[in-house]
Every structure is written in C-alpha cells, then in structure tokens.
Amino acid sequence: MQRRDFLRLTAAGLGLAATARYSPTTFAADKVRRVGLIGCGWYGKSALFRLLQIEPVEVVSLCDVDQQMLAEAGQMVAERQRSRKTPRLYRDFREMLKERDLDLVQVSTPDHWHALPVIEAIKAGADIYCEKPTAVDVVESQAMLAAARKYNRVVQINTQRRSTPHLIEAREEVVKAGKLGRIGYVEICCYWGMGRAGRAPEVAPPSHLDYEMWTGPAPMRPFTARTHPRGWRIFMEYSNGILGDMCVHMLDMVRWMMDLGWPKTVSSTGGILIEKDSTSNTTDTQNATFDYGDLQVLWKHRTWSDMPDPDYPWAATFYGEKGTLKASVFKYEFFPKGQKQPAMRREALLEYDKYPEDRTEKDLERHVAAAMRGHWRNLLECVDRRARPVADIEEGHISSAACFLANLSQRLGGRTLVWDPATHRCVGDAEANALLARPYRAPWVHPDPATV
C-alpha cells in the first residue's frame, strides 16, 4: 500500500478530512475551548498532552485528590499550553464543576470514580472524554449513557483502538474487504503479568493524598504501597480486574471491526490459581466467552508461565474461512489460508517527525500516541457537529458491561448469563441481576439511569 493511500484510509476511518492535523471549525476559530481534567495521573496527563498537540485549547481547571500530583500537573500544563497559564487547581471535582465554564471535561480517575464525575460534568454542560472502562458496574455505566442522551452531550470513551491507524487499515483492507471470508471465531487475550504478583505491605496513606476522597464510593480497604498511584487496578474494589482493564479494549476492537452489538450470552471461569500469595484480589487466570450465535469471541488471560505467542501478548486473532488476522496495539498481520508468511502487515504509526516531543515524554506509550491524537480529533469534530464519536458512550457501555457480566459469571461459578439489552437484565437470573449495581459507601449515592 502506498503512503498516500494509507493516509487516505486512515483519515477516512477516523471520519476526518485527509489532513495531518485537526482543522478547527468555526466554533474553534471563534472561541478557544476551555478544558478541565479530573484525575492528573499517568494516563490523564498522557491523553491531555495529546490534545494540546492538536488544538490550542486552554486548560483552565485541574482536579486531583493527590496534592503533589496535582501541583506537578499544573506546572506541566503551564509549560505546554500556549497561554503559559497555570490552571486552577481543585481537590474536589464538584467544586471544579460548579464554575460551569468548561467546554470539555476529561475524566481519567481510577475506574470506581468514573461515573459520578462524568454525570456531573454532563449536567454542567460539558462534553466528555473518559477513560475505559466506562464504570465499575453495569448500572453505573447505563446511567452515564442515560445522562449523555438526556442532556445531549458528546461522550468519547478512550477505547482508542478505534482510532489506531494500523488497525483502521486492518479493519478496512482485511475484514471489510472480505479477505478473511466468513469469521466464525475470534480469540482475544492478555498474557502480561499486569503487576498483580507479590505482596505489598499495608502502610499509612501519604500526607499529600486525601485517601477518604480517593476511596469515595468504593469500600474502604487498608492502603498499601501499591494502591496509589497506578496499582489500584489489582484490586476489585476499584476496578474489574484484567477483564475491565485489558479485555474491554480487545473486545471493543473486535466489535468495531465486525459491527457487533451486545453478545447474546456471556460466561466465564477462572480464579486465582497460581499467584495465591499476591496482595491482589483479581484473577490470575480467566476465560470468558462472548457468544453472538454464529460467532464466538473467546477471552483468555493468564499472568503466569509462558505466552502462547510472544509476538502477540495482548491481541485479537480473527479466524476466517480464507485466512487469519492477528491484531495488536503494535501491529497487524494477515495470513491467507495455508500461508505461513503474512500477505499484509503494518506496525503502529509513530509520528516523531510531526511531534518530536513524543520521543522524550516520560511514561508515554509511544505506539499509542497517534491513536490518542486521532481519538481527540474525532471527538472535537463530533463536538462541533453534535454527532456521536467513534467510541460513543453507548459503544463503550456495551464493551464495558459485557466485561462486567463476564466477571459476574465467574463470581457465580461460571454459569451462562443470558443478556436482554432491552431490559438491561439477565434473563431468569435474580441473583445475577442483584449484582448489576455495586453497593456504594455512604454518603455517596449510586446513580440511577431513570433519574440522572
């Protein structure tokens, strides 16, 4: 494929004009977008800095319960945005949103703190960029979707495989072009350790962290040396384990590539089989089946022992009548039936020529930078057109809730859950339905889709 064809394809897949950078519309030309960030940790800054690369927005507000992290983020934003102004700094997202002066709000908190800030930001009149998964339980996620529709806000979930240039090519030139023929089975996986092995001592929270507010609606558990920052993913109180962290990306990618909606049934088995001495309470081994009738999507994760394919440790493999497609965040390869060498291959796009700062930015996943910029471009265009973005909240809700249901199945001994999207209930399973919403710790109140 010629470079000009690849760029054309990439732009078309993102729903953008075929330009290297986002072209501001009349709205952007007349008014600089005012942006607020809730959650100033690793991915919050990574995503926000990609936005600053493509449009001269003004980041006016930052919020975090870690005062050290908040102050550092304020300084870093001031160094990067054109005005060189330090944003206002908040400890409580509710105080930040009271200003009602934000066009865009980015929510990059731990998963248990997604739903309430997103819903309140929507009510405050902002459009949203939110990390995946949408929430920590099905009803939270459903309430976020209900709020977006009620208040007519544009909400993009950061399932950015939908904006990844080499995966857009794979979708258009392999799957949509029919090179696989009929696809009957897709395997998605993650074989990384995910930092869950080993024990971490209980310690006092650092003085610069408001641990009461950090915990929020989640159960209060002892603070450990791995809880914050970034280690919270190994605790089910704040996340949905590896399914909510890694499966949601791969399942969403498969759904996007194949135009799939809700699975008919979800089932899952697994547990902590080997790493029993870990501080973590997430599974170290788990399989999940998302059944679409004529198609099954099977998830596998294992944090111990060797990987089946070291070239694809976190990936999707599409098995079709005419060939096989392997796809990951790093590359894709298409193997026609009977061939051991790929007929088509593309690696992640690195844009160091346009964005040389990507080379040196601390903690940046460089192979994902282009995808994050594409995801922001798509959101900005859809905000201007009042259209639904490529990773609209409804798409994020389906992918996230399906993973939540898989964890419920595993918790309930592996039984199959039959899902009814119309009622948002598991058919004939009162026990499973009682677990669709997690209890909230007082004084926080769980959002209700009917009353947001």
- Cα–Cα distance measured from residue 393 to residue 375, given in angstroms and rounded to the nearest whole number: 13
Model confidence at 6, in pLDDT bands (50, 70, 90)? very low
Task: Please list, residue by residue across 236-265, b when 16 or more beta carbons sit within 10 angstroms of its beta carbon and e when fewer do.
Answer: bbbbbbbbbbbbbbbbbbbbbbbebebbeb
pLDDT digits (tens, 9 = 90+) for 209-234: 999 999 999 999 999 999 999 999 99
pLDDT digits (tens, 9 = 90+) for 192-213: 999 999 999 999 999 999 999 9
Does residue 7 register a pLDDT over 60? no
pLDDT digits (tens, 9 = 90+) for 28-48: 446 899 999 999 999 999 999
Q: Break the chain into its structural domains and give their ranges.
A: 17-160+380-392, 162-350+394-433
Q: What φ, ψ does residue 146 adopt, rounded to 5°?
A: -60, -40
The pLDDT of residue 17 is 33
Which residues fall within 8 angstroms of residue 306, CB to CB, at 6 or more apart? none
User: What token pair was written down for 358?
Assistant: 């990507």
The angle at the Cα of 102, spanning 100 to 106, to the nearest 5 degrees, equals 120
Model confidence, pTM: 0.93
Q: What φ, ψ does residue 306 adopt, rounded to 5°?
A: -80, 160
CATH 3.30.70.120 fits 17-160+380-392, yes or no: no
- Cα–Cα distance measured from residue 393 to residue 409, given in angstroms and rounded to the nearest whole number: 24
Place of tokens 């102050």: 71
Instruction: Give residue 204's region: left, alpha or beta (phi > 0; psi -120 to 50).
Output: beta
Fold of 162-350+394-433: Dihydrodipicolinate Reductase; domain 2 (3.30.360)
User: What token pair was written down for 302?
Assistant: 């294992």
